[in-house]
Amino acid sequence: MTIVKAANAAEFLALLPRMLGFRPARSLVLVPFAGTRSLGAMRFDLPDSGSDGHDSAAATIVGLACRVSDVDAIAIAVYTDAAFAGSTAPPHRDLVDALERRADACGLRVTDALVVATDGWCSYFDDEAPAGGRRLTELADADDGAAAEQPDPDQDAGAALPVVDAADAALVETALADLDRAVEAMCGRLDDERGASRPPKRTTARSDRIDPRGLAAVLALDDLPATFESALAVGHAELDAYETALLIWCLERPAVRDIALAQWALGAGAGDRALEAQLRWEEGEAYPAHLARFMWGEGDQPDAARLDVALRLTRRLAAAAPSAHRPGALGAAAWLAWALGRSTHAAIHARTALEIDPDHGLSGIVTAFVEAGHLPDWAFRRRGE
């Protein structure tokens, strides 16, 4: 929960990008309040025009706000590529009217409704605002956070994968091939759980030789929770090519990936329980439903700090992986972003994975979540509830 210290509408608009971590573009931002305290901020793509579309969008958006604990009011901010010039009303007036009607029907106060256009800004409630809106420079003047960490330029920017040196990526590709040979030698050929054919192996004059580093990496599979916890503690910058390859390999396999996500979301104990349940499931027992609830956004609230570290890790793994091996890490990153309430980033990661493998299961699930406006239950609860 954050106390919003904004003396006026301009200061409130200047504060929003720092609350969100990016500068919204072509967006509707809703800020739920409990009294004078904000309960976070929710960003939505601007809905299509038309009264029917506006009413439907307003019902969905305000309905999500109503799920937030203790909410009794909302503030609305519209960010648009439209302009005041040539219009008799501020842009998206019909959408804001629909949101006000729905909020009133749900018993929520609308503390303010604001618009930031290409040539000005104003409050929809300000009858004294100039016909062309107020000057955008007023927002810059109101922003006293210049010395603070600057937010990303828009909601899509933070989803870009990190840049990986070509030489480092080549080492990871070699390590993946060595790891495959090591797994086959030590465990036998494993079925490919991704549902897609593996790329053909490259053969060399020394294809019968298994790099000892590949054999050492396979040994880490004996204690998966410890491996995943170590990766979280060490951070992606300290992983060598074989450690990176092992994590990419694990995230390509749904049963192992889900152990990693349980571990990263809910702690080491959850990883142990997920591993035990997976082993029992392979012996014919039913997988306990209560252990899988977190994947759908139900149950205990994950540790946001752990999720954030895991998201940065999986994005780095995706960037380092050869294209054919990338969907596993991308799908994990998509789920982690969704679990953190960053649906825009989740959709981007999932879409990228599906472009490589149209049948990638987790990425398809996350895409369905985002398209349906489904957020995890913990996104609507304050920590500790």
Label residue 188 by pLDDT band (50, 70, 90): low
Q: Is residue 19 part of a domain?
A: yes
Looking at the structure, tell me whether residues 222 and 248 fall in a common domain.
yes
Q: Mark which of 124, 154, 184 sits at the end of a domain.
A: 154
Looking at the structure, tell me whether residues 44 and 184 fall in a common domain.
no
Total domain count, the chain:
2
Predicted structure pTM score = 0.80
Looking at the structure, tell me whether residues 188 and 247 fall in a common domain.
yes
Q: Mark which of 129, 154, 179 sits at the end of a domain.
A: 154
Looking at the structure, tell me whether residues 44 and 98 fall in a common domain.
yes
Looking at the structure, tell me whether residues 238 and 172 fall in a common domain.
yes
Q: Mark which of 90, 124, 154 sits at the end of a domain.
A: 154
User: 368 to each of 210, 260, 297, 347, 362, how far by Cα in Å?
Assistant: 41, 22, 13, 9, 10
Looking at the structure, tell me whether residues 128 and 271 fall in a common domain.
no
Q: Is residue 38 part of a domain?
A: yes
Q: Is residue 161 part of a domain?
A: no
Q: Is residue 352 part of a domain?
A: yes
Looking at the structure, tell me whether residues 191 and 272 fall in a common domain.
yes
Segment 230-256, tens digit of pLDDT: 999 887 678 999 999 999 999 999 999
User: What's the average model confidence in pLDDT over 115-137?
Assistant: 89
Task: Give the least confident one: 1-15, 82-96, 215-229.
Answer: 1-15
Segment 333-371, tens digit of pLDDT: 999 999 998 888 999 999 999 999 999 999 999 999 998
Looking at the structure, tell me whether residues 115 and 175 fall in a common domain.
no
Q: Is residue 159 part of a domain?
A: no
Q: Is residue 385 part of a domain?
A: no
Looking at the structure, tell me whether residues 204 and 270 fall in a common domain.
yes
Segment 102-111, tens digit of pLDDT: 999 999 999 9
Looking at the structure, tell me whether residues 243 and 319 fall in a common domain.
yes
CA 383 to chain centre: 18
CATH code for the domain in which residue 65 is found: 3.40.140.10
Which residues span the domain enclosing 47?
2-154
* Alpha carbon distance 208, 196 (integer Å): 25
Looking at the structure, tell me whether residues 173 and 255 fall in a common domain.
yes
Q: How far apart are the first and last CA of the chain?
A: 12
Label residue 6 by pLDDT band (50, 70, 90): low
* Alpha carbon distance 158, 6 (integer Å): 26
Residue 192 has pLDDT above 60, yes or no: no
* Alpha carbon distance 40, 61 (integer Å): 14
* Alpha carbon distance 351, 331 (integer Å): 9
Q: Is residue 101 part of a domain?
A: yes
Residue 200 has pLDDT above 50, yes or no: no
* Alpha carbon distance 69, 51 (integer Å): 30
Q: Is residue 325 part of a domain?
A: yes
**How confident is the model at residue 23, as a pLDDT?**
87
**How confident is the model at residue 144, as a pLDDT?**
62
Looking at the structure, tell me whether residues 173 and 150 fall in a common domain.
no
